[in-house]
Amino acid sequence: MIILGINETSHDASVSLIKDGDILFAGHAERYSKQKNDWYVNDGLIEDALQYGFPDQIAYYEKPLLKASRLILRGGSGDWKPRYIVDDMFGKKVPTTYFGHHYSHAAAGYYTSSFNDAVIVVLDAIGEYNTSTIWVGEGEKIKLKYKQNYPVSFGLFYSAFTQLIGLMPNQEEYIMMGMAAYGDWKRYYKEVDEYFPSYSKQKYNFHKGITDWGMTITEQDKFDIAAAVQMVYQQRLNDFMHMAYSITGKKNLVFMGGCALNSSANTLLWSIFDMIWIMPNPGDAGSSLGAAAAMYGKHVNWKSPYLGYDLGGKYPVDKIIEGLNKDKIVAVATGRAEYGPRALGNRSILADPRDPDIKDKVNLIKQRELFRPFAPIVMEDHAHKWFDMDFASPYMQYTVKCLQPEKIPSVVHADGTSRVQTVNREQHPGLYRVLNKFYLQTGVPVLLNTSLNIKGQPLLNDERDILDWETTYNFTICR
Ligand SMILES: [Fe+2]
């Protein structure tokens, strides 16, 4: 059976196609429409997905009428009505099933995991009503164990402060997370803590933003507030995760929802659980796959996050090494696009992390703020010598202390940490060969890896994007 999963009406629409449990396609609307965090599915995305088969079933990631009822009765902002779910969308009626927002998150996580027994925690801004849920996955069954409803919300708390310091809520939370390393968390800890004193209690509905801060915010204050927010978030997350463990007794964690993108906070979860799976697209964009998996009702065959638009080609190992030797910075676009917000080697800029000036140079290419950090990719078998970690991080989901910062200064943040992506031979043979060749030349098994895009624009996707980039920026892309 072919199932088409869809998510719309939220920040970052996407589509996934599975056939008998194999994931044939998963892609983001923004990469086709070129509208960052596009809320709606478009024809280009659907046409790309349908190359892999025509759906027998459509699975939608949310219950639109339930969401509409919350918008009317309880407030909040946003849309609820999917545009692509109409009877004749493909020229014939395709039966559609609607799954709950948090259930789709849970299914996206559990059914792509290797676990047969796990606690599943979903934390986001808001679904229809749910904001925080705990589930148990056993065999092929997923059961709800705990729920917390709007307006108390981990995600809304974080987004409201993102907005307070002048960034875009629902989009630039990751910038605030990066800013936290430059701030003094103690300066505003007391004030911020009063807004979120326990995981089930908040000062008021954060959908309205922070309405009573009452103090002028200087440039330095922004960094100090970011640090305090990150600290309070981590403490509440720690409390919530301990509660999830205590009510389920499970030592395998599946963590999903937009909050699972907070790589600085994710690292603390290793002190509570034995094994952790965060699907590399844990936010709403991952829920098109979640809805499809929920419809399938069983584990799907997860192989990799390279599931989007296919540029074809063989990984250009030698061209990348040549470019690194010559210019220290190369762009690469090849094969299938990443499903998820992180560039994991197929739509990436790679650079020599040993040069302390590389960070500024790459930030200038990407037109980003100069304080913004970059992430390292490291050969998995060398990771423990360079970073304080005893686990793999194939999808760049954990921030850990760098053990040799003087040797790779351009991938170490102000607080001495790095958001690490580990790479092994099976996971990405081409990227592993690049790292191995660089290691044999330099003794350093690490490269800087960042997304191939300009700030505020989606990742490059197809041939036309590559041509546009090369023409506009006079910067050749390896492919
Ligand atoms: Fe969500």
Tens of pLDDT, residue by residue, the chain (479 residues): 999 999 999 889 999 999 999 999 999 999 999 999 999 999 999 999 999 999 999 999 999 999 988 888 877 777 888 887 655 566 778 899 999 999 999 999 999 999 999 999 999 999 999 999 999 999 999 999 999 999 999 999 999 999 999 999 988 999 999 999 999 999 999 999 999 999 999 999 998 899 999 999 999 999 999 999 999 999 999 999 999 999 999 999 999 999 999 999 999 999 999 999 999 999 999 999 999 999 999 999 999 999 999 999 999 999 999 999 999 999 999 999 999 999 999 999 999 999 999 999 998 888 988 878 899 999 999 999 999 999 999 999 999 999 999 999 999 998 999 999 999 999 999 999 999 999 999 999 999 999 999 988 999 999 999 999 999 988 889 99
Distance, CA 122 to ligand 1 centroid (Å)?
Answer: 8
Please tell me whether the overall predicted TM-score, pTM, comes out greater than 0.85 for this model: yes
Kind of pairing, strands 417-423 and 375-379? parallel
| Residue 163 in tokens | 């907005």
Distance, CA 250 to ligand 1 centroid (Å)?
Answer: 23
Cβ proximity of 157 and 195 under 8 Å: yes
Distance, CA 284 to ligand 1 centroid (Å)?
Answer: 5
Count CA within 13 A, CB hemisphere, residue 192: 28
Distance, CA 411 to ligand 1 centroid (Å)?
Answer: 30
| Residue 102 in tokens | 């948090």
Distance, CA 232 to ligand 1 centroid (Å)?
Answer: 21
Distance, CA 132 to ligand 1 centroid (Å)?
Answer: 10
Rounded CA gap, 32 and 449, in Å? Answer: 23
Distance, CA 258 to ligand 1 centroid (Å)?
Answer: 6
DSSP letter at 459 equals P
Distance of CA 405 to the CA centre of its chain: 26
Neighbours of 461 (CB within 10 A): 25
Nearest by Cα to 111 from 277, 237, 263: 277
Rounded CA gap, 44 and 151, in Å? Answer: 36
Distance, CA 64 to ligand 1 centroid (Å)?
Answer: 13
Rounded CA gap, 275 and 115, in Å? Answer: 9
